Copies of this chain bind each other. A is one copy, B any other.
Amino acid sequence: MIVVLRLNHRKERDKRISTHIGLVSRAFFADKIIYSGEHDDVLINSVNKVSKAWGGEFLAEYSKDYKKIIKEYKLKGFKIVHLTMYGLLLNDKISQIKSEKNILIVVGGEKVPFDVYQAADYNVSVTSQPHSEVAALAIILDRLIEGNELIHEIKGVKKRIKPNALGKSFYE
């Protein structure tokens, strides 16, 4: 089971990035996203609306207290994988991470508190260069599913695009 925890969401400034993080989590087969930071019903609803329309059992939730969430998931036996530019290279840790049964992937916002680094079983970086938490999340999830991003493997998928060389169409 893969759960994503997004830290420090800010309603105005982060709305699009946080939405992308939720949709990437769903499209690359995470099971759930928990948003922390400012409570934002519009965000939660918009991610859940996509899940409902397109199918699958992905869920977006909110929690005020990220420390509680990390503690709770640790107690459940989840390993904590914190995505940070400063961490060990993902390529060096991915096989170990893959061997874990349940993981909580923590995606930081600005200024991640040091307790997150300390709580993490893995502090990992995608490229060790500055880019995007959306991209870093997509890459680790893609590695976990071994690049196998086929839609029909999303359980309960309802709406499916028919791949098109040109134009737009859907499966009936």
Contact = CB atoms under 8 A, between A and B. Distances in A.
Nearest to A135: B138
A16 B123 CA distance: 24
Contacts of A129: 23, 26-27, 54, 151, 154, 161
A149 interface: yes
Q: Which bracket fits the contact residues of A?
A: 35 or more
Contact of A24 (B88, B135, B142, B160): B135
A6 to B, nearest CB: 13
A88 B131 CA distance: 27
A118 B168 CA distance: 12
A28 interface: yes
Copies of this chain, count: 2
Interface in A56-112: 85-92
A157 to B, nearest CB: 8
Nearest to A157: B129
22 contacts: A17-B17, A20-B131, A20-B135, A23-B129, A24-B131, A27-B135, A54-B129, A86-B164, A86-B169, A87-B163, A87-B164, A88-B164, A89-B149, A90-B149, A91-B148, A123-B165, A125-B161, A127-B150, A127-B151, A135-B135, A139-B139, A143-B147
Given A26-B129, A88-B164, 5 more contacts: A21-B132, A27-B131, A28-B135, A89-B163, A129-B161
